[in-house]
Structure 1
Amino acid sequence: MSVLARLGGLLADAALGLPLRAVRYTVERDVAVPVPDGVTLLGDHYRPAGAAGPLPVVLIRLPYGRAGLVAHAFAAPYARRGFQVFVQSTRGTFGSGGHFRPFSTEHEDGLATLAWVRAQPWCDRRVAMTGGSYFGHTQWAVAPYADPPLVAVSPHITGARITTAFYDHGAPALENALRWSVAIGRQEAGGLPGPLSPRLRARVHRALRLLPLQAADTAAVGAPVPFWRDFTGHAAPGDPFWDGVDHDDADLTGFPPTNMVTGWWDLFAAAQLTDHARLRAAGVPARITVGPWLHGDPGELKEIVRSDVRWLRHHLDGGPAPTGAPVRLYLQQAGTWLESETWPPPGSSPVAHHLRADGGLTEQPETGDAPPRRFTYDPADPTPTVGGPLLERPGRQADNAAVEARDDVLVSTGPVLPRDLDVVGHVRARVFVRTDLEHADLFVRLCDVDPAGVSRNVVDGIRRLHPRTVPAADVVVGEDGVLAVDVELFPTAYRFRAGHRLRVQVSGGAFPRFARNLGTGEPFASATTGRPCRFEVFADAAHPSCVELPVLR
């Protein structure tokens, strides 16, 4: 390793907030790994210089290449700390054979790669896996099924049920899906997906508004992208195409110790917290850190690498166990961290805030009759969204004034808070609604209104109504035809400060973050026409619409 390379490594460690260390290592490039169907996958093998005999292996599988940022941020930092690392390009990417069909072959290819690594003379058969986002998915595709089990895993900013990133309670996550499709559609030229250029962002913005949606990938990048065609072509509820992609029903017996990092504005935060709770319930030693981050934020990446160095040192080298509680949460607007043994924290209890017919929001529900509030959702002029957990900036919180001024958004605002209100846990809403179309979306957003009157989003959720899914466990049809719709909002840890007010928005969509509901039931990929949908939202004694907040006492 050259002096320049060692200096670059030290600079990279400093940028990642790691203690400076310069263990020398060698790299063997383009190591061929055969898999059972005849395809050959390529990987890079990092090994401590001068090491004798077999060592444990840190396995990383990803579709974004093995050089550049991947090498400097996700492989070399571990190699500089004396770990043996094998980084592999997934099928059809960066020299690996076959065709890249995202998520579809990671189970078979991952298990075959694991068996190959364990059979190498340089491996002592102990293997851990790490990585975030798609690299996290490749861990879920292997960890529940590995025999013998992996030593440890770190599936960051991802979810066992990966399709939650594409379809949120039935509503296609349009903007995130197209941005990612554009990124992977050009990645062989540009490497690890990152923020889109202004020119490409403008093309994506125009493509999001095209109908039919099936060809939006061509409009954005000039060529079809297989994932986009899968996303648009298999959006119907319960489409069996995705059956082999999700792993949330996998047997967790023997699942390895797990370390996870995510952010409150990361699109995978809800799925990851659900995974953590499932793992702990199954007796798996699992830790999670949730910070104030958007997907791929520098702070999030730093925490991933820093926590993984400690995690791998403990499980592969016998180093000290991580200290502190297994659940670590950043309390937004308070600037502090909370620690807990479980998620949600045991000190949180639900408090309902009821929508009122006059536009108020109180802990007391209406006691008598009241007329419903009405609005019309028009897919030709879809209700926009700002902020939220997006794949890239802009995300997080934003001023919601322009959205709340529209006549297709109902706003309910609470009184001034006399003291700080800490909301920590899962936020849920039950809204009583009647629509004149069978196909409709219900979007609910909780906002924080400051003393100057600026309304900023905190969490939100959407529920797609469809004849095949109504009635359901979360949609009850009353005798009067009014639907009681349960909407799961994003989890959070957030302080509403004294002097602020709570606000709830109810609307028929949030475009382009979610695809507009055209109201016709036409296939998602080929639909070209839309119909306006009239909503009635009830808030009377018989229909107590509310948002349930987990308040930390």
Structure 2
Amino acid sequence: MLNRLVDKFLGLPPAEGPGPVVTRDLPVPMPDGVTLLADRYAPVGTTTAPVVLIRTPYGRKGILSKLFGDTFARHGLQTVIQSTRGSFGSGGEFRPFHLEREDGIATAEWLRAQPWCDGKLGMAGASYLGHTQWAVGPYLDPPLEAMCLGVTASEFISTFYPGGVLAADNMVSWSAMIGRQEERFAALPNPLQKRKTRKAMSFLPLSRADVAAIGKPVRFLQDVTEHFVPDDTYWGMSDHSADVEKLDVPVSMVTGWYDLFVASQLKDFRRLAEAGKKPRLTIGPWAHGEPASMRPMIQDQLGFLRAHLLGDRTFLQRAPVRIFLQGAGTWLDFETWPPPSTATESHLRPIGGLGEAVGDEARPTTFTYDPADPTPAVGGPLLTGDWKQKDNQEVEARPDVLVFTGEPLPSDLDVIGEVTATVHVRTELGHADVYVRLCDVDAGGVSRNVTDGILRLRPGVPEADAGGVVTAEVVLDPTAYRFRRGHRLRVQVAGGAFPRFARNHGTGEPVTAAVDGKPNHFEIFHDAARPSRITLPVFSH
């Protein structure tokens, strides 16, 4: 009965027959002598068959084993779920991202040597479980049969430090989670711990937020704060982006418009497609790990793996790109990402205007960013907390947020693709962040965030002109969004969005030690010589 309910919830045809045969705690030896543990889920009667490998730091029981191990096996896919090094019974120390390539390849070779594996391997999973796929896929010989990449990317560095700014909220949240995950009752909802973790994001120095959150240090937070400096190569072991075009494996991707990896994942998709690899992509209206995303993700991964491991090609009969158009509530199919569009500029204008024409006012619009009272974040692509779209009116009323609003739209406007902004800015201190957000303002005046981006400035990077004005090129997350007729476009410009992004202290002091800061005066220019603007990919049906 439970299995039938799971299949119904996931939108799968009911699997007939008995449940899979489960073998727990298979010891898998690594080249350095460490042993990792894995669970095998085999359809009844399996003698030798392909294997789906899932490598996870989050444990081999609970919902993961039910959704992937049990469900995959009931639908004909022999599946092995392995705990990564130093987690849930596997030997060694859990140092996220450090040895996943070596351990993953050794595990794949071990699997191929087992009598119950016919040599064919696929991989599946989401988030870190996608990273463990990228750590294997480009390097394994013979190659994998398929990779199913949910909400992940070939490199996580740009997600740790988007625009050169530490993603404080996501890094502290994840550190607190992995630091507690093997404690008793850690999997149960704990509102008190959530409040404690959110409060810890304000702790200074930020490198000690782990102790403030869970009462003990977490090595990952130490690593991610210590190596938050320009041109640091520490995370090179986790970066597989240089090998994207070399990947010779069928790939299916699923992500969401409010997922923290969406920009990086779409970059991977585009590079694979341009290299002629024919990847597949689904983008829904989801945040990272949102329950609503699980059904389409499991459907996608199960169908794709059955096609490439069992020869059931039914699920492959669809367009290469399927995306959800927000604001319209509909799905669109395309052959490529991004679809053809027209780059359309909307200029920031004096007195808070936004439009096609460039402003004629040479005087800049100004605000002061104070790290002691940092501009708060509202919604967006977060691991925890109030994610996705939120009402921005309260933050827009602050004196440290500039707001530029267009006229009511005469017809629906579909924006699909990559969004960028160019902001001509002069700051008092040189060390500053430029945060840009695009919002949808409805007829009632409610302003909801659509997409945003941030860029860290430091003296000389980028170079200022003779008047000390810097041209900040800010990359916003890609989107697919319909602005309805009568709605207005709005652009926010600020010096940060805390605690989503670590506050800029204005001093250049390393985040591991910074506890003090200085208020920073900003001047935003929007005249013919310095036309600050946002560039939107306008799609015509």
Using structure 2 for the length normalisation, give the TM-score. 0.97
Q: Give the 3-state SS of the residue equivalent to 2:124 in structure 1.
A: strand
1:15 deviates by: 2.1
Q: Does 1:462 align with 2:454?
A: yes
Quote the residue 1:47 is aligned against.
Answer: 42
Map of 2:303 onto structure 1: 310
Offset, 1:251: 5.2
Question: In structure 1, which of residues 411, 416, 433 is the aligned counterpart of residue 403 of structure 2?
Answer: 411
Q: Is the 8 A contact 1:292 1:330 kept in 2?
A: yes
Query: Could you tell me whether the CA contact under 8 Å between 1:102 and 1:227 is conserved in 2?
Result: yes
CA contact under 8 A between 1:287 and 1:326: conserved in structure 2?
Answer: yes
2:248 corresponds to which of 245, 251, 255: 255
Partner of 1:3: none
Give, in whole Å, the separation in 2 of the partners of 1:17 and 1:324. 17
Are the aligned partners of 1:64 and 1:192 in contact in 2 as well (CA < 8 Å)? no
Aligned to 2:371: 379
Task: Specify the code of the residue in structure 1 equivalent to 2:236.
Answer: D
How far off its partner does 1:82 sit? 1.3
User: Contact 1:129 / 1:152 at 8 angstroms: preserved in 2?
Assistant: yes
Report matched runs for 1:113-262 at 5 Å. Answer: 113-189=107-183, 197-250=190-243, 252-262=245-255
> In the superposition, relative to structure 1, how do residues 191 and 458 fare at CA in structure 2: closer, same or farther (>3 Å)?
farther
- Mapped pair 1:34 → 2:29: yes
Match of 1:9 among 3, 22, 25: 3
- Contact 1:23–1:82 under 8 Å retained in 2: no
Question: How many angstroms does 1:242 deviate by?
Answer: 0.5
Q: Which residue of 1 aligns with 2:282?
A: 289
Instruction: In structure 1, give the amino acid aligned to 2:490.
Output: R
Shift of 1:372: 0.3
Contact conserved, 1:383 with 1:508, CA < 8 A, in 2?
yes
Change (3 A) 1:280 1:447: same
Q: Is 1:88 aligned to 2:79, yes or no?
A: no
Change (3 A) 1:23 1:151: farther
Give 2:539's aligned residue.
552
SS of structure 2 residue aligned to 1:165: helix
1:484 maps onto 2:476 in alignment: no
Code of the residue aligned with 2:44 in structure 1: it is A
Once the two structures are TM-superposed, the CA of residue 281 in structure 1 deviates from its matched residue by 1.1
> Residues 340-359 of structure 1: matches in 2 within 5 Å?
340-346=334-340, 348-359=341-352
Q: Which residue of 2 aligns with 1:511?
A: 498
Q: How far off its partner does 1:138 sit?
A: 0.2
Deviation at 1:252, TM superposition (A): 2.8
Change (3 A) 1:251 1:294: closer
Instruction: Using the TM superposition, give the Cα deviation of residue 192 of structure 1 relative to its aligned residue in structure 2, in angstroms.
Output: 8.6
Cα deviation digits, residues 104-160 of structure 1 (max 9, x gap): 111110011011111111111110000000100000111011111100001110111
The question of whether the paired residues in 2 share the 8 Å contact of 1:372 and 1:536 is answered with yes
Q: Which amino acid aligns with 1:49?
A: V
Cα offsets for 1:441-471 (capped at 9, x unmatched): 000000100111111111000001123xx43
Contact 1:23 1:79 in 2 (8 A): no
| Equivalent residue number for residue 4 of structure 1 | none
Take 2:186 and 2:119, find their aligned partners in 1: how far apart are those partners? 30
2:438 maps to amino acid: L
Q: What is the aligned partner in structure 1 of residue 520 from structure 2? A: 533
Q: How many residue pairs get matched? A: 538
* Rounded Cα–Cα distance in structure 2 between residues aligned with 1:406 and 1:450: 20
Name the CA distance, whole Å, in 1 between partners of 2:84 and 2:488: 48
Q: Percent identity?
A: 54
Q: Secondary structure at the match of 2:182?
A: helix
Residues 268-305 of structure 1, C-alpha deviations (whole Å, 9 max, x = no match): 11111111101111111210100001111122111111
CA shift for structure 1 position 481: 1.8
1:362 alignment counterpart = 355
- Equivalent pair of 1:110/1:142 in contact (CA under 8 Å): yes
Does the 8 Å CA contact 1:378/1:531 hold for their aligned counterparts?
A: yes
Q: Judge conservation of contact 1:23–1:81 (CA < 8 Å) in 2.
A: no
Structure 1 residue 520 corresponds to structure 2 residue 502: no
Q: Are 2:67 and 1:73 equivalent residues in the alignment?
A: yes
Q: After superposition, what is the alpha-carbon deviation per residue over 1:398-441, rounded to whole angstroms, capped at 9, x for unaligned?
A: 11111111111111000010000000001100000001112110
How large is the RMSD of aligned CA atoms in angstroms?
Answer: 1.4
- Residue aligned with 1:489, SS: strand
Q: Which amino acid aligns with 2:254?
A: V
d(CA) in 1 for partners of 2:157 and 2:246?
23
Give 1:20 deviation, angstroms: 1.1
8 Å contact 1:183–1:193 — kept in the other structure? no
Q: Which one-letter code corresponds to 1:27 in the other structure?
A: V
The alignment partner of 1:66 has SS state of: coil
Q: Deviations over 1:503-528 (max 9, x none)?
A: 00000000010000001111111111
d(CA) in 1 for partners of 2:399, 2:137? 49
Determine helix, strand or coil for the equivalent of 1:169. Answer: helix
1:401 maps onto 2:393 in alignment: yes
